[in-house]
Amino acid sequence: MAEDVDVVVIGLGPGGENAAGLLADAGLRVVGVESRLVGGECPYWACVPTKMMVRAGDLVRDAHRARDLAAETTVRPDWSRVAGRIRDDATNDWTDGPAADRLTKRGVTLVRGAGVITGPGEVTVGDRVFRAGRGIVLNTGTSPSVPPIDGLDGTPYWTNRDVVAVPTVPASLLVLGGGVVGVETAQVFARFGTRVTIVEGGPRLLSREEPEVGDLLGQVFEREGIDVRTNTRATGVSHDGGFTLHTGDGDLTAERLLVATGRHSNLPGLGLGRIGLREDARFVDVDGAMRAADGVWAIGDITGKGAFTHVSMYQSEIAVRAILDRPGPPAAYRAVPRVTFTDPEIGVVGLTEKEAEDQNLPVRTGFTRIQDSTRGWIQGPGGEGFIKLVADTEWGILVGATVMSPMGGEILGALAVAVHAEVPIDTLRTMIYAYPTFHRAIESALTDLEAT
């Protein structure tokens, strides 16, 4: 017999977990359905453990850099400390007891298993059927995409889920894909002594970003001993103890292979057809209130609005407001920030120059190098990068910005405010920027913007 509830949340990634908790706080009868771990990808296989790896890699690198500036050092990287911290402190050995308890204490009924929409307002999990009076929230997230490369299937290749759990680093690693996951992982492992080769089909790393990003990151990686093969397509894989990647430019070999070629939405088999949506869609289309269909809301990576935890959380607040019939502004994505946690760190908000041009905006850019700033110079090794501003000259505001710098994601905060609040460039020009900070380079980029 069907169980009557108010809301069923399918998938408890960061946004789904947040939505389920808030709806229960508001007094609704909420069922949260999760087929793996409460909290989703971010705390167990993505943001949190990978940033712990990055932090560790940065410490190793800084210990080497200390030799130039401060101390005699002998550095013996020890991956077991990283692996132990991820296993014990961050992921509780990939169990979700504390997260599940937090949720159920707020009144959410947690149901383990795969949720399927079996009719309007109806969700089935195993042999239980729930009728959701107010609605269904979809937050099923993404999984690693594995390209159909000859010979790859059936080999013990890694995805992001394996990388965060390895007890030791391999002697050598091939990274297929020069996107965010590929470059963050490559740099960390190289810093722990792995011989790393990145194979990227496009002309540069991080192809979605400003071209200056990929160009500089490529140089930094080469200097750190990472072999970057751009414009290189993998045509086949063989595994015989180690991996051989066949490419148009010859064979590459390594002990391990990381496949980091993107993600696909967890939508097949969800029953979208039962509510009039396309089963084979790449993303779920949503309106400004995150509504996907009558009585159905979708949030997180599956909406295609930015595959980031902060977007998932942002959307969950909007969906909750809509379900509770509370007023509030619709979703806006003009100032979505994103950070790639390499060294130097890459923070981006809004549009790149090309994206702005593609939208036919009257564009002007401003550029400055971090090493030309006082703070960049003081920093010494690692103190390089740039700030690039993208302005709409008609409105006199910034529509996008990229910061590649030590702490680039933190410096980005000021520019995210500027893009979000449409702060006039004239106002940014008359601001006082503390000396000698990295963010003071924003002023130099603004000067360049006016000069161009």
Ligand X SMILES: Cc1cc2nc3c(=O)[nH]c(=O)nc-3n(C[C@H](O)[C@H](O)[C@H](O)COP(=O)(O)OP(=O)(O)OC[C@H]3O[C@@H](n4cnc5c(N)ncnc54)[C@H](O)[C@@H]3O)c2cc1C
* Binding interface with ligand X (CB under 6 A): 10-15, 33-37, 40-42, 46-47, 50-51, 114-115, 139-142, 160, 181, 266, 270, 300-302, 307-310, 312
Distance of alpha carbon 361 from alpha carbon 347, whole angstroms: 22
Least separation in angstroms between CB 306 and ligand X: 8
153 Cβ partners below 8 Å, 6+ apart?
146
> Which residue number has the CB closest to ligand X?
141
CB of 97 to ligand X, least distance (A): 15
The 10 Å Cβ neighbour count of residue 317 is 17
Give me the count of residues in the chain.
Answer: 452
Return the number of the residue (141 or 214) whose C-beta is nearest ligand X. Answer: 141
221's tokens: 């990686």
The distance of closest approach from Cβ of residue 125 to ligand X in the complex, given in angstroms and rounded to an integer, is 7
Nearest CA-CA partner of 157 in 82, 19, 258, 272: 258
Contacts of range 208-213, beta carbons closer than 8 Å, 24 or more positions apart? 208/179, 208/352, 209/340, 209/346, 209/348, 209/352, 209/402, 210/348, 210/352, 210/353, 210/388, 210/402, 212/367, 212/386, 212/388, 212/402, 212/404, 213/346, 213/402, 213/404
Comparison of 181 and 226: residue with beta carbon closer to ligand X? 181
Question: 310 or 354: whose CB is closer to ligand X?
Answer: 310
Least CB distance to ligand X at residue 357 (A): 27
Q: Which is nearer to ligand X, 34 or 353 (CB)?
A: 34
Q: CB-wise, 195 or 310, nearer to ligand X?
A: 310
Q: 175: part of which helix (H) or strand (E)?
A: strand 172-176
What amino acid is encoded at 405 in this protein?
S
Closest CB to ligand X among 169 and 445? 169
